């Protein structure tokens, strides 16, 4: 029997990643297209549909080869109708993504938040493989998160479950966050937050630092550079990393104490720092988490990289559509 494929898609502010994936979680073919944010992103579903058709044609396959499309999208998702409440970077506001993509492809579509999709991908084929209770945190331009309990993503009452980036870490005098609050962990542990902390240290202290040379010469600072000079023993950079891991470790400990997960997976661009991030983060997690919680949890780097979202999207199709049709789902 000719096995049908799952379609996974991950909509980002710059590119849309898509893939055809078999039911065992093996990527058959993956590609990406630019994210067209003109006209408030209204053409994104149409361009995704066109790209899927073109790619099928290039591979010599018919539309009947596909079971459905699972999409990870930025912003809160209305799980009832698959619309996006708001996605500022795309220009979406109450955007009917599911309906428009189904209209353009004639395929069933499942939509979830992009961080949730990444968490699901890591559970299925990444660092969380074999685990049904895990936290997945993505540290990039912002801080995203997905919570999985007994193999199911935690959406909450209105789809806002897993908004880990908006845990308040500084009650007073915190930096403004894009969500409208202040002091969120996103303002500290994201790539932009790390740079902000570094600039504060450079502006309000006289500590010698290689970062100061870049700053004084108006060169671009980055979170990668902060970790690089921290690894060289730079005092100021290590002070910044200390703040980041202190507040992130505290937030993760609170979550772990409430959820008792088997794994905490750290993904996103900042996670590429490896042990320079994980070692001090584990120290702070150990400091704040309940001892019995610590006995059961493993802190690890994500392994799927940019494929996490498309893998999660494919899993949504496998789980929900195949189960609906009477086939055996991945998790019971």
203-229 mean pLDDT: 92
pLDDT at 88 over 90: no
List the one residue out of 44, 10, 6, 2 whose CA is nearest residue 24: 6
- Quick one: pLDDT at residue 329? 38
pLDDT for the residue 160: 85
Report the pLDDT value the prediction gives residue 267, as an integer from 0 to 100: 93
pLDDT of the residue at 112:
95
Strand order in the sheet with 298-301: 152-153, 143-149, 134-139, 263-267, 298-301
297 or 87, greater pLDDT: 297
Q: Is the pLDDT of residue 318 over 50?
A: yes
Average pLDDT, integer, range 256-280: 95
Average pLDDT, the chain: 92
Average pLDDT over residues 158-186: 92
Average of pLDDT values for 183-197?
96
Question: Does residue 141 register a pLDDT over 60?
Answer: yes
Angle at 231 between CA 228 and CA 237, to 5 degrees: 70
Contact 90, 134 (CB under 8 A): no
The pLDDT score that the predictor gives to residue 332 is: 26
Same fold yes or no, 5-119+306-324 and 129-303: yes
Segment 230-243 shows an average pLDDT of: 96
For domain 129-303, is the CATH number 3.30.420.40? yes
Task: Of 2-6, 106-110, 217-221, 256-260, give the lowest mean pLDDT range.
Answer: 217-221
Mean pLDDT value across residues 22-49: 96
> What's the pLDDT at 216?
85
pLDDT at 331 over 70: no
Query: What residues does each domain of the chain span?
Result: 5-119+306-324, 129-303
Domain 5-119+306-324, architecture per CATH: 2-Layer Sandwich (3.30)
What pTM was estimated for this model as a whole? 0.89
Q: What is the mean pLDDT of residues 134-140?
A: 94
Residues 6 or more apart whose CB falls under 8 angstroms from that of 105 comprise: 48, 49, 52, 53, 63, 69
């Amino acid at each position: 029997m000719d096995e049908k494929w799952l379609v996974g898609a991950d909509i980002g502010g710059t590119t849309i990643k898509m893939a055809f994936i078999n039911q065992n979680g093996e990527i058959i073919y993956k590609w990406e297209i630019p994210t067209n944010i003109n006209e408030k992103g209204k053409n994104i579903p149409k361009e995704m549909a066109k790209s899927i058709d073109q790619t099928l044609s290039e591979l010599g396959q018919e539309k009947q080869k596909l079971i459905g499309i699972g999409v990870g999208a930025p912003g809160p998702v209305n799980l009832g109708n698959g619309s996006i409440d708001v996605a500022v970077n795309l220009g979406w506001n109450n955007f009917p993504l599911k309906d428009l993509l189904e209209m353009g492809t004639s395929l069933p579509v499942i939509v979830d938040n992009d961080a949730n999709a990444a968490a699901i991908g890591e559970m299925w084929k990444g660092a969380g493989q074999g685990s049904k209770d895990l936290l997945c945190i993505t540290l990039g331009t912002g801080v995203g998160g997905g919570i999985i309990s007994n193999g199911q993503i935690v959406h909450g009452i209105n789809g806002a479950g897993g908004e880990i980036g908006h845990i308040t870490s500084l009650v007073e005098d915190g930096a403004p966050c894009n969500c409208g609050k202040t002091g969120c962990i996103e303002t500290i542990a994201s790539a932009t937050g790390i740079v902000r902390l570094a600039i504060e240290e450079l502006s309000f202290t006289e500590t010698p630092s290689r970062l100061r040379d870049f700053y004084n010469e108006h060169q671009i600072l980055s979170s990668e550079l902060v970790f690089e000079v921290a690894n060289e023993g730079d005092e100021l950079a290590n002070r910044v990393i200390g703040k980041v891991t202190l507040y992130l470790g505290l937030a993760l400990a609170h979550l772990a104490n409430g959820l008792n997960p088997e794994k905490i997976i750290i993904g996103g661009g900042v996670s590429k720092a490896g042990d320079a991030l994980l070692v001090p983060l584990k120290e702070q997690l150990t400091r704040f988490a309940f001892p019995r919680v610590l006995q059961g949890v493993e802190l690890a780097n994500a392994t799927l990289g940019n494929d996490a979202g498309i893998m999660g999207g494919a899993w949504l199709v496998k789980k929900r559509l195949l189960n609906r049709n009477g086939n055996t789902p991945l998790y019971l």
